[in-house]
C-alpha cells in the first residue's frame, strides 16, 4: 500500500510538472508574453490590433490556473499526454483529471485568441515593400500562431471526447464499447508534433535577432532560407 501511494504521488508530480511547464509556462510566457512585448515594437505599432481580445486571452489564464491548482490537490496522475485507459474513469476516478482537462481547454482558448491577434497584427504591420525586411522574430510568431490555430482545436476535440467518456458514459476510447484508445493518441500527437515547433520557433527567432544585433550586421545571413 505504501508503494502504491508513493507511485501515485510520483504520477501526480510528473503530470503537473509536464502540464505546467508546457501549457502554463512555455506557451504563456514565451509565446504570449514575449509576443505581446516584441511584436508591436518590431512592427512599429503602439499596441496589438485587437486589445480586447488580447485582454480576454490573458484573463482566461486565471481560471485555467485555478482549475490546474484544484487538480493538484485532488490528484491527477494521468501523465501530461492523458492517454486512455489510464485517464479514463476506471483508473482515474477522481475529479482531479477533469479539472486538469478543463484547465487545458481554457489555456487552449487563450492561446487561440492570442494567435488570432498576432496574425492580424502582423498582417496589418507588414506591406509588400518591407515583408522580407522584417525581423525573423515576426516570421517566427506568424508561423507559430498558424500552427497553434491548426493544432489546438484537434487537442480540444480529443480532450472533450475523453471528458464525455469519463462523465457521460460514451465510449470513444473504450474498446468494450467499440472505441479505440489509440484514436486519442492520434488526436493528441496531431497537436503534439507541431507543438515542438510552436515552442522552438519563437526561441529561434529571438536568438537569431540577438545574434544579428551583437554582430552589427544589417541583415541576417541566409534570411530567406531561414524564413
CA angle, 108 then 105 then 110, to 5°: 35
Q: What pLDDT, on a 0 to 100 scale, did the predictor assign at position 2?
A: 45
Q: Name all domains of the chain by residue range, CATH numbers in brackets.
A: 2-226 (1.20.210.10)
157 or 9: which carries more pLDDT confidence? 157
Confidence of residue 57 (pLDDT cuts 50, 70, 90): very high
- DSSP secondary structure letter of residue 19: H
In whole angstroms, give the CA distance from residue 99 to residue 94. 10
Confidence of residue 132 (pLDDT cuts 50, 70, 90): confident
In whole angstroms, give the CA distance from residue 40 to residue 49. 9
In whole angstroms, give the CA distance from residue 81 to residue 156. 13
In whole angstroms, give the CA distance from residue 165 to residue 93. 12
Q: What pLDDT, on a 0 to 100 scale, did the predictor assign at position 154?
A: 96
Q: What pLDDT, on a 0 to 100 scale, did the predictor assign at position 128?
A: 63
Q: What pLDDT, on a 0 to 100 scale, did the predictor assign at position 226?
A: 79
Amino acid at each position: 500500500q505504501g508503494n502504491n501511494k508513493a507511485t501515485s504521488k510520483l504520477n501526480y508530480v510528473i503530470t503537473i510538472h509536464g502540464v505546467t511547464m508546457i501549457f502554463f509556462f512555455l506557451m504563456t510566457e514565451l509565446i504570449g508574453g514575449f509576443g505581446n512585448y516584441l511584436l508591436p515594437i518590431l512592427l512599429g505599432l503602439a499596441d496589438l490590433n485587437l486589445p480586447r481580445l488580447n485582454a480576454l486571452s490573458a484573463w482566461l489564464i486565471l481560471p485555467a490556473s485555478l482549475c490546474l491548482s484544484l487538480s493538484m490537490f485532488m490528484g491527477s496522475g494521468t501523465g501530461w499526454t492523458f492517454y486512455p485507459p489510464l485517464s479514463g474513469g476506471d483508473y482515474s476516478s477522481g475529479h482531479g483529471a477533469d479539472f486538469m482537462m478543463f484547465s487545458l481547454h481554457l489555456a487552449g482558448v487563450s492561446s487561440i485568441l492570442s494567435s488570432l491577434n498576432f496574425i492580424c497584427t502582423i498582417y496589418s504591420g507588414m506591406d509588400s515593400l518591407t515583408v522580407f525586411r522584417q525581423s525573423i522574430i515576426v516570421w517566427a510568431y506568424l508561423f507559430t500562431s498558424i500552427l497553434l490555430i491548426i493544432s489546438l482545436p484537434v487537442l480540444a476535440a480529443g480532450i472533450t471526447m475523453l471528458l464525455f467518456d469519463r462523465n457521460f458514459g460514451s465510449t470513444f476510447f473504450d474498446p468494450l464499447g467499440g472505441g479505440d484508445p489509440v484514436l486519442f493518441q492520434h488526436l493528441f500527437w496531431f497537436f503534439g508534433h507541431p507543438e515542438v515547433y510552436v515552442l522552438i520557433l519563437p526561441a529561434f527567432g529571438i536568438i537569431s535577432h540577438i545574434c544579428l544585433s551583437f554582430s552589427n550586421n544589417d541583415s541576417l545571413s541566409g534570411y530567406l532560407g531561414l524564413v
